[in-house]
Amino acid sequence: MTSQTFQFTNREMMKNGLQAAFQLHRAGDLAAAERTYRQILIDTSKDLNALHLLGLNLHEQGKDREAVVFLEQAVEIGPTIGVLYNSLGVARMALGDLRIAESCFRKAISLDSACEEARRNLAAVSLKLQGQTSVPKSPEASSRSTVAIGDSEQAEQILRQRLGEFPDDLNAYIKLARHWMERGKTREVIDLLSEPVERFPQSVELANCFGEAFGQENRHEEAEQIFKRLLERFPENVTAHVNYGVSQLAQERASEAVTSFERALELNPEFFRAYLLIAVSRRQSQQFDAAEMALQRALELRPGSSEALVELAHLERLRGNPQKGLEILTEILFRDPCHGPALLGLATCCEILADPDQVVQYCVKALKANAKFAPAHLLLGMVLASRLTPDKRARLELTEREELGERALLHLSSAAKFAPSAEAMEAWGAALINMGRHAEALGKIEESIRLASGFAPAHESLGKIYLEQGRIDDACAAFSAAVRFDPRRALAQFELARSKKVDDVPRSIQQVRGLLDRGDLPFREQVLMHFALAGLYDADKNYDAAFEHYQIANRLKCEDPRGLLRSGDREMQKRAQFHTQEFMEIFGEEYFREHSDRFGSESELPVFIVGMPRSGTTLVEQILSSHPDVYGAGERVDIADLTLTLPRRLNSEARYPQAASLLTQQVAREMADSYLEQLRKLAASALRVTDKMPINFRHLGFIARLFPRAQVIHVRRDPLDVCVSCFRQNLEWPFCDLDAAAIYFQGYRRLMAHWKEVTSLRILDVRYEELVANQEEESRRMVEFCGLPWDEACLDFQGSKRAVQTPSKWQVRQPVYHSSVGAWKRYERHLDSLKKVLPE
């Protein structure tokens, strides 16, 4: 039983001494605060904020009858302000006036649908009323009973019982449908109402509920037709006009939606939700000023409405003012720490401002107020999962990194437990995908789709799982479903374009171009959409247009406002040749002579597959991992993470690679054991485990200290094919900059030659072009190099069922193909500068 204490309807609180009273109130000096509030009311008897705060003050002192007097005066002055009814309901509930309290909470929710405290209070008073209610014996009594039961767990059982006894009880149908709608059971609502909606054609509320269920299932065309037919019979129904507009808006027909909402306002000029939806429509049409005007009108009708303020914050963010949006949202969260939409909006603003700590702060605050508040668990889980980035991992042991992942999963599972929803289940599944736990993730994603069959992000995540498991046709179907439900799902568009399985390429080109021309896609989605469009032009054999969009996508990546790289930084790093010389100087002949007996482990378990990205490392690993004694671990970040922990482990300010000169045998052994432990968790019985992180070529000096007996397979490929292929794959810098990629390639060549000269590592060179041309011969050579007997399964690598997390996952399930050899020639006219830099 709570009240949204200290919610103010305007900024007049700073006047007439109200601020002083408020500070006394917050400090717990209730008597002094009461005296000050009363003095203000002597001077200004209708001061809404003073009336409201005095009522709350008296309630906190246990003077609820007197509190009701002042709160009722506040409600009379501000009859459209939901929080006032919530506060009045709290006082009435304390007096035992449960029916009146229930009515107040329902009124608060009707005025402000985002008022979470009123919902919690309604649930509390309903539970109290439940003890006074028995199962009624008539439809009329049933109607009264379900109001009393409210949101209790027994509501569904009672309503089902009523419909069994009285199948013509229209009110029971409506209440059961609403009960299910609140819990996301929209498919059940559609099944429930399909017959009654025909039997009760005069029930406007039943038809509206039926159409809303289709809308929540993302079946917007069907919903639109329901509302259209309803308006033909009842053209004056305001709710139907609004619902009609919502279905149009969901189909990206914003101007038609505005017309529907304006018609609703003609019928009811003070319909708050119509103004709010006009604002949303205008915002989606990039008409920001018109959107703000609609929001101001909505706020005039409901001063301080959290719902309108959240939309205003969204508008400010899109205008390029995330800080202003953040300020609006923090004001809402000050009043109500458990306001879900405000918390989610704050997370978006903080992402733009690169300030995740503030998200954590508000989530923790919300969970202190309500340990079962699902949005806070959801956001905390997502933030913790995001902290497994390379710069953050540098401060973590591998076991600590696992613990952080488990903490993230704990919060995500809590979100799904406390408020089961498609969004929560999808976020849980997405985190599991990123941790490589695909079998577990699949169940979560399937549950997300069960809860909301039209939830596009879940279909997108399902596509990722299927793709990594090699279920190519299923992946395409899932990505297609995501695009069908929401064409703006950029990752799904990108993956479909890469699949080369798009049925209607010209139509897809037109769709993606249209989305880009609108100019309202977030930064990351713009990048993916340009890559998608480039891939579609490739499929259409329009290689000049394809390269143009590869250039645009990569230029955007290089200009990412959240990235650390700027043009000056890139030039500096190009000149430094990516520290190649530094690696060669630290890990020289003398280094390995001095440390020849100070290695970490003699294990031959790890097989490191290295080379440039897009050189063929995935193909090599897929062939080897088809051997029954080999486990393919994919692109492991563990070696890079271990190098980043060197300064901390050695208690030195020197950073890698300089810190490697201080590496002792004991620390080398600890690091080697830590790495091997991770591999054994993946495959306890395997004789060899492959780690195909291509850029481990930079760390072969470090690897030689940890595992001098490890096998290294170095995959080589034509430098033009490598650099162009990287440019087409949405990789990070330097691979999104052709000049930088060329310089990186030169450094890679020098470094590989150096490792062969100074380390004792066994390194097998495999040329991609020869592997494609002579698969069996080259495969036998690789298996023999690993010290294993030949197995024919290595020739059927595309049948492997293991998950693959790599840019090559579309190709890896196919037999060896030759079209990638010399593919750079399609774009030759654009590669003059690249050809000048790269070696022959």
Over the stretch 388-432, which tens digit does the pLDDT of each residue have?
654 455 455 666 667 778 889 999 999 998 888 889 999 999 988
Q: How confident is the model at residue 565 (pLDDT cuts 50, 70, 90)?
A: very low
Nearest CA to 99 among 109, 89, 108, 87? 89
589/472 same-domain check: no
Report residue 838 as tokens. 């790269």
The upper half-sphere exposure of residue 750, i.e. CA atoms within 13 Å in the direction of its Cβ, equals: 16
Judged against a pLDDT cut of 90, whether residue 226 lies above it is answered with yes
Query: Does residue 177 belong to any structural domain of this protein?
Result: no
DSSP class of residue 815 equals P
- Predicted pLDDT of residue 153: 56
Report residue 61 as tokens. 């002192």
SS (H, E, C) 14-28: HCCCHHHHHHHHHHC
Judged against a pLDDT cut of 50, whether residue 4 lies above it is answered with no
601/532 same-domain check: no
Mean pLDDT throughout 625-641?
92
Query: Does residue 569 belong to any structural domain of this protein?
Result: no
Q: Tell which wins on pLDDT, 25 or 474.
A: 474
Nearest CA to 689 among 553, 587, 818, 788? 788
- Predicted pLDDT of residue 168: 84
CB 828, CB 651: distance < 8 Å:
no
- Predicted pLDDT of residue 388: 60
Partners of residue 765 on adjacent β-strands: 714
d(CA 727, CA 557) in angstroms, rounded, equals 11
526/633 same-domain check: no
99/13 same-domain check: yes
446/589 same-domain check: no
Q: Tell which wins on pLDDT, 129 or 432.
A: 432
Domain end among 114, 132, 150: 132
Question: Alpha carbon of 646 to those of 137, 693, 765: distances in Å?
Answer: 75, 20, 30
Q: What is the CA radius of gyration of the chain?
A: 32
430/468 same-domain check: yes
Query: Does residue 689 belong to any structural domain of this protein?
Result: yes
CB 460, CB 491: distance < 8 Å:
yes
550/640 same-domain check: no
User: Would you list the DSSP string of 715-745?
Assistant: EE--HHHHHHHHHTTTPPTTTTSHHHHHHHH
Count of structural domains within the chain:
3
Burial class (CB in 10 A: 0-12, 13-18, 19+), 721: buried
Query: Does residue 647 belong to any structural domain of this protein?
Result: yes
679/722 same-domain check: yes
Q: Tell me the residue range of the domain where 587 lies.
A: 577-837
- Predicted pLDDT of residue 533: 96
| Sheet bearing 688-691, strands edge to edge | 630-632, 688-691, 606-611, 711-716, 762-767
What is the per-residue pLDDT across 183-225, written as a single tens digit (0 to 9) for each?
A: 778 889 999 999 999 998 888 888 999 999 999 888 999 999 9
581/539 same-domain check: no
- Alpha helices by DSSP H, listed for 587-685, are 589-594, 617-625, 638-644, 646-650, 665-682
Query: Does residue 669 belong to any structural domain of this protein?
Result: yes
Query: Does residue 723 belong to any structural domain of this protein?
Result: yes
510/601 same-domain check: no
| Neighbouring C-beta atoms of residue 167, cutoff 10 Å | 12
Judged against a pLDDT cut of 90, whether residue 33 lies above it is answered with no
Q: How confident is the model at residue 11 (pLDDT cuts 50, 70, 90)?
A: very low
Ramachandran bin of 232, using left for φ above 0, alpha for ψ from -120 to 50, beta for the remaining angles: alpha
CB 664, CB 705: distance < 8 Å:
no
User: Would you list the DSSP string of 149-162?
Assistant: HTT-TTHHHHHHHH
Output phi, psi for 237, to 5 deg.
Answer: -85, 115
d(CA 245, CA 253) in angstroms, rounded, equals 9
What is the per-residue pLDDT across 326-383, written as a single tens digit (0 to 9) for each?
A: 999 999 888 888 888 888 888 888 888 888 888 888 888 888 888 888 888 998 898 8
CB 615, CB 722: distance < 8 Å:
yes
What is the per-residue pLDDT across 500-551, written as a single tens digit (0 to 9) for each?
A: 888 899 999 999 999 999 887 888 899 999 999 999 999 999 999 999 999 9
Domain end among 558, 586, 619: 558
Q: Whole-prediction pTM value?
A: 0.66
> Residue 34's domain is classified under what CATH number?
1.25.40.10
Query: Does residue 544 belong to any structural domain of this protein?
Result: yes
Domain end among 84, 115, 132: 132
d(CA 386, CA 79) in angstroms, rounded, equals 44
531/644 same-domain check: no
> Residue 709's domain is classified under what CATH number?
3.40.50.300
Nearest CA to 749 among 648, 669, 837, 661? 837
620/535 same-domain check: no
